[in-house]
Structure 1
């Protein structure tokens, strides 16, 4: 395609010099890159082709951000590491939901880890707004971001004066526990997640539990305890295991301890589907039949739970929808009030 422009003109260009070179306004060149609807398709393609010959790839994003005060970027501030968050199926679905909305709105996504120990990061100043996913692990980082006074919404946690998108972890946990208790009598065990401040797999003591009413794990445990009390079943502290990270290897360790007790549990309440699937693998290794000798329930509704045999009974939470709703509210400026999404009990073969 011939542009009629000399091929030698490859000096560094900016919006103003390119417009002069092409004999059009600065706004016309800018619209060709940023607002396609403002130009005819033919004119836009012609300008883009001419810009390519001149070696101009578009308005400088950093300069535009300084000029307008907007970057077009929304950040998810993660409570976990980047590596964990992109590999965890629940976090992955949340990120996917956010990304769908941002892409539709012509925005970009930035992932920030809340586990960094650095005192500051230049990336924190870039986004136009933040989605805080999970309970903050770095109070200093959160305070720095709050001081920017940019739009922010929380998911799966609560921060004072910020809007939130959550599920009812207490009621959902109680619901699935009551179902399990109705299916199988006998001893109960809980494979919990992040119940105490420890990096080792262990049983918990009553005085070790988090006191925070915001912790998801605490709400789920309280749901299990309320269900046990309602049907007059015992669920003592020594029947509860703490798993520091929602990972397969640590879940295997806890499940082996729980299922190799002298008096083995017949009901296993697991705070995530990943933990439940690991527990069922251990049961298979030990020759424990599910569901005739042991019933297992999970929480989250990841796809692997449906494909596993026996298929996992679980609480289906809609993580992608949480992400879509959080992003939509943030972009629409709906920055007050809390929204609680519905979850479903999905009954399958494991219970």
Structure 2
């Protein structure tokens, strides 16, 4: 066994060292210990084998004792199904950032969803703190129950109760910048492909009624940014940030040449990749026939030769900020809210429309 796979003499091995030896991310290693999340049996066994090799036994019972009987667990609540969340690279990046920081208090992750029976676990699961990821106001009852238990809360985006510390993101302004980019190129007929708007994840045309019934703060903020530049722009509502959902949306928006937009603003890079796939299937060229903008700045397999025009968000940094806030709260320090800014990246998926609009 070489020095890279063993703890130094006298030093307690860390979760990060286990993750490195097992060849997985920190968040995956943490989930392997907590037993939550879509971690395969083979991966869990590999993590546990690495932990055994390094002499790592999970959260330190001595640390829990020093924290007056705390569980050593930080709950992370998401609105979507756990398996869906783990298909989204942004969610994974957020979890990795959280995991990096909570290692300071030797805590592991417990993934929870507010859907179905799991909603009860939010209120009674043994947790030292909770991070809400993109959760809407309908979690008010669960938040109140957690508050009653005295559990510290941190939200990443979403629209939690007023007294919940929030890690924000400039979703509206970033989307406005993307929309203005298209307008500056000469586009006037622009459609929006949104993330899921409602709890039932209904798919279909983006209508005033769909917007009025929406509860997803992130999707609504990004839509507001697009509407700041293209008021009343229509589009399509998806069931989530998946390439296939983007393809379905693109097919719906592009199939009728008489009603086809010249540009599409997608609320995630995965959705944008699906839109591009739909355009190709319909014989359209990107960006000659259709400009496409995404959001996130993640690597999408199979997108080459496209360099997606997108807004790059610092997802890992957002997770770290939430994790630091949790640590501060658990150690009795003053935690601070923060807000992050996306960076516009102009790739090769946007260009002037083939036929400039009249009066442009």
Question: TM range, normalised to the smaller chain?
Answer: 0.7 to 0.9
Q: In structure 2, how many angstroms separate the alpha carbons of the residues matched to 1:158 and 1:243?
A: 20
Contact 2:100 2:323 (8 Å CA) reproduced: no
Please list every run of 5 or more consecutive structure 1 residues that lacks an aligned counterpart in the other structure.
Answer: 1-33, 38-56, 230-234
Indicate which of 230, 233, 241 corresponds to 2:236: 241
For residues 36-74 of structure 1, give each alpha carbon's deviation from its aligned partner in whole angstroms, at most 9, with x where no partner exists. Answer: 69xxxxxxxxxxxxxxxxxxx999959x66992312221
Contact 1:169 1:219 in 2 (8 A): yes
1:46-57 → structure 2 map (5 Å cutoff): none
How many residue pairs were aligned? Answer: 292
Paired position in structure 2 for 1:256:
251
Q: Does 1:193 align with 2:189?
A: no
1:176 shift after superposition: 0.6
**1:289-336 CA-partner distances (Å, limit 9, x unpaired):** 111111000011111279532111101011111000110122113656
CA contact 2:248–2:278 (8 Å) conserved in 1:
no
Output the TM-score relative to the length of structure 2. Answer: 0.72
CA distance in 2, matches of 1:58, 1:119: 26
Matched, 1:323 2:319: yes
Q: Which moved more, 1:124-133 or 1:292-301?
A: 124-133
For the 8 Å contact 2:196–2:202, the answer to whether it is kept is no
CA contact (8 A) 1:243 1:251 kept: yes
Say whether the 8 Å CA contact 1:210–1:218 is kept in structure 2.
no
Q: CA deviation at 1:117?
A: 3.0
Residue 52 (structure 1) aligns with: none
Cα separation, partners in 2 of 1:58 and 1:154, compared to 1, 3 Å:
closer
User: Cα distance 1:307–1:140, how it changes in 2: closer, same or farther (>3 A)?
Assistant: same
Cα offset for 1:90? Answer: 0.7
In the other structure, the counterpart of 1:216 is 218
CA RMSD of aligned residues (A): 3.2
Q: Name the CA distance, whole Å, in 2 between partners of 1:193 and 1:119.
A: 22
Structure 2 counterparts to residues 107-186 of structure 1, below 5 A: 107-117=107-117, 120-121=120-121, 124-136=124-136, 138-159=139-160, 160-186=162-188
Match of 2:266 among 254, 259, 270: 270
TM-score (norm 1): 0.74
Structure 2 counterpart SS, 1:109: strand
- 1:152–1:335: 8 Å Cα contact kept in structure 2? no
Determine which structure has more spread, i.e. the larger CA radius of gyration. Answer: 1
Secondary structure of the structure 1 residue equivalent to 2:230? helix
Q: Contact (CA 8 Å) 2:266, 2:292: kept in 1 or not?
A: yes
Q: 1-side partners of 2:85 and 2:282: how far apart?
A: 32
Q: Which residue of 1 aligns with 2:4?
A: none
Structure 2: 5+ residue runs without aligned partners?
A: 1-9, 14-56, 351-360
